[in-house]
Amino acid sequence: MSATRAEIGVRAKRAASFLAITGGLLGVGLLALPDVAYPWMKALHVLGVISWMAGMLYLPRLFVNHCGVAIGSEASEIFKGMEFRLLRYIINPAMVASWVAGLWIAIRMHFFVDGWFHAKLALVLALSAAHGYFAKAVADFGRDEGRRDHRYWRFMNEVPTLIMIFVVILVIVKPF
């Protein structure tokens, strides 16, 4: 059963209120108690990155399978919904959490002076660009436009993987 506009509006207001109160409390806590906040921000960053990467690795696989079904078919419509929900409810919030927590940690720990961090930041910007490109692909698939061959999406599936490998090496090894 689908919700009415009024029900959707009430849910949206409730969600916005929850986010505003939670965000305000977190903001006060982060400013007032930075030593206590650090492990929490680190945990948020790790959880955000894991969720972001899971979505970034899965979305191109959905594109590969979506390419194999007829435009307008029931399967195509199912893929459209899966791609949209994955992007909107998992990948986008996870990226925001990763960036917010990561920048907070970088500022707190003075990482902006380290060479390894500059390289990591460049790679995270590249991952964010791939995210934007995948978001455009979700919109294109949603309009039944701009389809590419499944081999293209199999190749694009490796881009986040390679970025992830290099970021992990930079963070753990700190080679420069």
Confidence at residue 81, expressed as pLDDT on a 0 to 100 scale: 97
Contacts of 53 (CB under 8 A, 6+ apart): 160, 164
Locate 28 and state its tokens.
């006060």
Q: Return the SS3 of 176.
A: coil
Question: Given a cut of 80, is residue 170 above it in pLDDT?
Answer: yes
With bands split at pLDDT 50, 70 and 90, how would you rate the model's confidence at 2? low
- Provide, rounded to the nearest whole percent, the portion of the chain with pLDDT above 70: 95
What HEC string does 81-97 produce?
A: HHHHHHHHHHHHHHHHH
Cβ neighbourhood burial of 55 (10 Å; 0-12, 13-18, 19+) = buried
Confidence at residue 116, expressed as pLDDT on a 0 to 100 scale: 97
Mean residue pLDDT of the chain comes to 92
Question: Given a cut of 70, is residue 57 above it in pLDDT?
Answer: yes
Please answer whether residues 175 and 116 qualify as being in contact, where contact means their C-beta atoms are separated by less than 8 angstroms: yes
User: pLDDT (tens digit, 9 = 90+) per residue, 31-54?
Assistant: 667 788 899 999 999 999 999 999
